[in-house]
Amino acid sequence: MGAFKETKLPADAPAAQKALGWVDDRFPLTKLWNDQWGRYYAPKNFNYWYIFGSLAMFVLVLQIVTGIFLTMHYKPDANLAFNSVEYIMREVPWGWLVRYMHSTGASAFFIVVYLHMTRALLYGSYRKPRELIWLFGFAIFLCLMAEAFFGYLLPWGQMSYWGAQVIVNLFGAIPLIGPDLSLWIRGDYVVSDATLNRFFAFHVIAIPLVLLGLVAAHLIALHEVGSSNPDGIEVKENLGPDGHPVDSIPSHPYYTVHDLFGVSVFLLIFSAVVFFAPEMGGYFLEYNNFLPGDPLKTPLHIAPTWYFTPFYSVLRAITADFMWVMMVAVAAYVSFLWLKSKLAFHTKAVIAVISIVVIIGMLPQVLDAKFWGVVFFGASVVILAFLPWLDHSPVKSIRYRPTWHKYLYTLLAITFVALGYLGTQPPSVIKTIVSQAGTLYYFAFFLLMPWWSTMGTFKKVPDRVVFHAH
């Protein structure tokens, strides 16, 4: 091991510089800052779509801080939980503000993350060499869903109680292990004090630890391969005399100011919601949740919070009649795969055998629609993880793709929002049919992407990034 070497500073150096030098000799503080932000060179043509990554980090910190203050007064007990939330709202100084910041922050987190994922879709940020960044991001999304689900029960309101009851019961549809799995998740035969305690432990300790680890991995992977940009050009392939990409700039101070502006706009909107519309018409805080959970009184309409409802709509769309449509869709897709795919013959044969088993399993005499609803509910989330391998487009960015590709992306966004809205509404025949059409398009968009993403006339990608100074 080498001898310890202390940095020599002038005797008249400022005290702060001396203190920093003392720390740097013992811990790479300045090096970490420079590597991760200060001298991290990012493409100079970032637009405002690139704000949402740092915004997500900001909201994560906001949720952790407000969550810590809430746990100081919250009681994870079925008999005390609801009243402890009321105590926070009415008696704790500024408790109402902390609670509303946390509840609004949960919805804000998903809005920011959905917009962050939209940017990745538009500019191909999941494409090579950033597949691992995308997978870490997808794992973060799964953790967020788990964190939101576990936290949703904690107020012990009517919708919290019955929402948890319905969602946990869905696992019971899984053959063989379903009933035992539901029992294990609840810790009891019904949602009870045992359920509340374990959900509290997961929400406050387990999931946040995993989430922080995944965020660190996401950022490390990002800074290893470099950021994408709206043109989909790899700026590292064109280096200047200083060894840095000629089309990049240091993140600090340029993107520090850029992101601070984004945070300022976010805080303006966030504050307006917190102070003037924290319930957001019942979407952020359901009115039924202002009533204590009652195992003997079922709400007329049970639905999860809005950020789960696009996937919940997929679950509800899978009815016994619609199963026949899904069977035809699976058979048609496998036939198309067999004719058009360049996969090896034995791979096609395996897929064909699996599809036959799946189609047989879809028969009402074998497995019911409830089970397949859970399957497609899970598949609608998991399919996002495979995007890097589904998109075969010769260009990354939407800017250089055929115009009709943009219409497909726009229709996907409309479908996703429509499914989200329908998931918040009581079911009806018309709404179910619209949900079923949206479900078919949602899966078709991704499963047919290997073919449609290569079709059409693509524009020439420039050699260097397109940048216009403001």
pLDDT in tens, 274-326: 999 999 998 899 988 999 998 888 888 888 899 999 999 999 999 999 999 99
Considering only CA atoms, give the Rg of the chain.
25
What domain range includes position 225? 36-287
Residue 217 lies in a domain: yes
Closest CA to 153 of 78, 92, 90, 206: 78
Q: Is 346 annotated to bind ligand?
A: no
CA dist 160 and 191 (Å) reads: 10
CA dist 24 and 312 (Å) reads: 51
What percent of the chain has a predicted confidence (pLDDT) above 70? Answer: 99
> What's the whole-number mean pLDDT along residues 224-252?
89
> What's the whole-number mean pLDDT along residues 371-386?
93
Q: Buried b vs exposed e over 15-49: b needs ≥16 C-beta within 10 Å? A: eeeeebeeeeeeeeeeeeeeeebeebbbbbbbeeb
Does residue 349 register a pLDDT over 80? yes
Q: Are residues 273 and 316 in the same domain?
A: no
Q: Are residues 221 and 269 in the same domain?
A: yes
Q: Look up residue 152 and give its two tokens.
A: 């949703």
CB-CB contact of 465 with 247 (8 Å): yes
344 HSE (CA, 13 A, CB side): 3
CB-CB contact of 352 with 334 (8 Å): yes
Element spanning 250, H or E: strand 248-250
Q: Which of 287, 319, 347 is the last residue of a domain?
A: 287
- Model confidence over 143-169: pLDDT tens digits? 999 999 999 999 999 999 998 988 888
User: Which residue in the block uniquely carries the two structure tokens 């973060």?
Assistant: 140
Q: Is 301 annotated to bind ligand?
A: no
DSSP category for residue 84 = H
Q: Are residues 241 and 335 in the same domain?
A: no
Q: Is 258 annotated to bind ligand?
A: no
Which CATH number do you get for residue 369? 1.20.810.10
- Model confidence over 437-469: pLDDT tens digits? 999 999 999 999 999 999 999 999 998 888 776
Q: Are residues 236 and 329 in the same domain?
A: no
CA dist 218 and 323 (Å) reads: 38
Does residue 133 register a pLDDT over 70? yes
Residue 56 lies in a domain: yes
Q: Is 468 annotated to bind ligand?
A: no
Residue 414 lies in a domain: yes
Mean pLDDT value across the chain: 91
Give the total number of structural domains in the chain: 2
Q: Are residues 280 and 359 in the same domain?
A: no
CA dist 312 and 306 (Å) reads: 9
Q: Is 223 annotated to bind ligand?
A: yes
C-alpha dihedral over 425, 426, 431, 437, to 10 degrees? Answer: 70
pTM of the model: 0.93
Does residue 12 register a pLDDT over 90? no
pLDDT at 2: 59
Q: Which of the pair, 374 or 409, is modelled with greater confidence?
A: 409
The three-state (H, E, C) secondary structure of 315-329, written as one string: HHHCCCCHHHHHHHH
Q: Are residues 87 and 222 in the same domain?
A: yes
Does residue 408 register a pLDDT over 60? yes
pLDDT at 355: 87
Q: Look up residue 440 and give its two tokens.
A: 């078919």
Residue 27 lies in a domain: no
